[in-house]
Each structure stands twice: as structure tokens, then as C-alpha cells.
Structure 1
Amino acid sequence: MGEANRRAKERERQAEQLRSVNMSRVAGAVRHVASIATKFPGKDCYIHASIGKSLLNRLGVESELVVGFAGWRVGEGSGDAILCMPVTREICLNEGFPCHAWIEIGHNILDLTTYQFSRQAATLEELDGNNVNVSWCPDFLQVKKESVSSVRDLILKNTWCYYYERNLQFEREMSKVSFGLTDDHVDMALAFYQASVADNYLSLNAA
């Protein structure tokens, strides 16, 4: 009973942290800064996750950067899927890393790169000539871990779904790679976030 209460309190604490920030504006701020920091647009999930984690920590939200395999069903056709894993058709962080990076906040997954689905689909088409129709391309994805599909279901289903699976080996390897990120990038993201929140406040009060 004591352990159950502890877990319930921890979940409520995490929920309060999430409610304290506007995740849409977090995603927008990270997107702005990542576009400046990246050398490989569409293959820069680690940069998004790293900036996002640091920004959330600045905003008082405890989070973790996670690396592993991921995939998304982006359309209803049999080939309308994007996979970041060691298979024939893959999108990589950079050369040699067929994996993906995202953020975990307790039992929540936060992916700040889903707005790039159309770009990633175009990359896949360049690789093998097969067209990926993208009809689902959210600005970001914030979901509960228990809603994640298996990779098998993702491939077989014809409805929007997603797959995330942590891989500690890739996580260790990616932690050794330098992406040139500094505190200045996080400062910039925080400034973008605060400015967007302030603009929204002024707009609401002017209405």
C-alpha cells in the first residue's frame, strides 16, 4: 500500500510539472534553435532531444534523453511508415546510427521531431524510389508509454500509430558524439519559449 501511494504521488508530481509548461511552445522553441544548430535537417533528433531536455529542466520539468528504435505509421498505405531502426529502409541520426532520440518524462514520451515526417519520407523516396504518403504529421508527439505499439503492429496496421523502444547500446554510443551544443543554445530556446508565452499573454489580454 505504501509503495502504491508513493507511485501515485510521483505520478501526480510529474503531472503537475507537465501542467506547468506549454508543451506546444516548448516544441516551437526547440524547433527554432535546432534549425540553427543542425547540419543534417531531418536527421537531427538527438539535437532536438538534447535541447528539449535541457529546456524542460530549466523550466522545472524533470526529463530524460532516451535513444533507441522508433517508427511511425504516417499514412494508410502498406508502405506509409517511417522507421528509425536497423532495417533496409531507415532514417538515421547521422551516418552509421540507425536509431532515434526522444525525451521521457516519467511515463510520458515526448518527441519533438515529428514535424519532419514529410522531409523524412522524401529522404526515403530518394533512397529506394518508393513513395511514402504522409497524412499524419503532428508538430510534436506527447503520449503515454502504454499507448506505444509494437513494431509488428506498426507495419501491419493501416492507422496512425507509433513505436518506441529504448536501446542502451545505441544510447551509450550516441552520448559519445559531439553535436556542438552549448548552453547558448539552451539560453536561446528559453528566450524563444518565454517570448512566445509573453506574446500569448499580451494577445489574450488585448482580446
Structure 2
Amino acid sequence: DNFSAFERQKKINISHYFTLTQYDQNDKKSSAIFKPTSVNNSFGEYISKLGLKQLRIAETEKYPHVTFFFNGGNETVYEGEDRILVPSPQVATYDLKPEMSAFEVAQKLTDAIQSKKYQAIICNFANADMVGHTGNLDAAIKAMEALDTCIGQVVNAMEKIGGEVIITADHGNAELMKDYENKQVHTQHTTNVVPLLYVGRKASIKPNGKLSDIAPTLLHLMGEKQP
């Protein structure tokens, strides 16, 4: 009714419509073809029930990914769970500051590791994705150099206390900054196979894993049973 881009000769009264997924649960005129999936007993919820301490840490751009999204779309802060939010830099695009807030995240993460307070820490470094989206190759290289330093610092801190580290992602981005088929700058996520790197005791990691294997793997390394 508020459409004013051009005059319409005929107005259609839509009584009901369908969307692929749910956009607004309060919209009574729409129905989602694929209903929201309820995730129960997520990794964070499960280890909380076990009485374990956990930390979620990221800068602003990826903070929801280690909290809301990691909990399966749940805003709950579980018992024994701490959260650290590091502000992302205020720049127009992150190729202007490719290191973003990675060094601050790494330092706070190192401090948390050294405290030996937590049995599980979930961290997200935003650089590879956010700088990758700019399409600026030189900036992406600087972002990776910063991440290399930060991850090295974190892994070193974890090794000193006898801990274990898993490094992975849910998609690629910065590894492909140019589409070699059309010669255009590439700014989107990729479908490349994502590696999972393990640092710790001599555990045997099976090949060809998937995202759903990560939480069970974490529980195995922690010496806990799968629910």
C-alpha cells in the first residue's frame, strides 16, 4: 500500500504467500516452506550441563557466530559460560585495516588460556572472511600475515599449558581473490574443501570429516562422552 515508485494500474490483494525460510515469525500472511530447525543440546549447552567452564570470544563482526549461531540460533548464555566482545575497527571497508582487531582478540584469548579457567574456548578471527569480501588481494595478504602471527601466539600459549587446538572454518573466501574464468575480482564465499588443523597430543584425526563431526571431536579430545 505504501509503494510509490510508479503508479500501478492494478493493485493485488495478497492474502497469503510462501517464503523459503521464516523471515518474521509475527507475519501471519506468510508460511515458510522450510520450517526453522530447533537445535537442542548443542555443544555449549551440553558441556554446561557437565559443569565445565567455557569462553566465547570474537570481535564485533563475528561475535554472533560464536554465540547465537554456535548455539543453534539460541541467545541463551549457559551456566559456566563467559563471553568477550572485542570492538571491530570503525572503518568504511576492512581492506583499510586488514588486521582488524585480531591482535586484541589474540591477546585476550592468550590471557584466558593462561588463566587455565576454561575447559573449552570458542574463538572466531574475522579477517579472512571480512577482508576477503573486499576483493583487495594486497589487503587479504596483510590480513593473513596478521592471522598467522595471532594464531601462532594462541597455539603457543595453549601448548604451554598442555591444551589442544582445532583450527577450521565453515567456508572459504580469502584463498580465492580472483575468478580466473571471468578475470573478475572474487568477493564471495568459496565452495573449496575447508581444512581442519589439529595441534595437541598424538590423536588420530580421520579424513573427510564434515562440520557435524567437529563437536563430537571436541568432546572426544575433552574426554567426554557424546550425548
TM-score, scaled to structure 2: 0.27
Larger RCO of the pair (alpha carbons < 8 Å, separation 6+): 1
Q: Which has the larger radius of gyration?
A: 2
Name whichever structure is richer in helix by fraction: 1
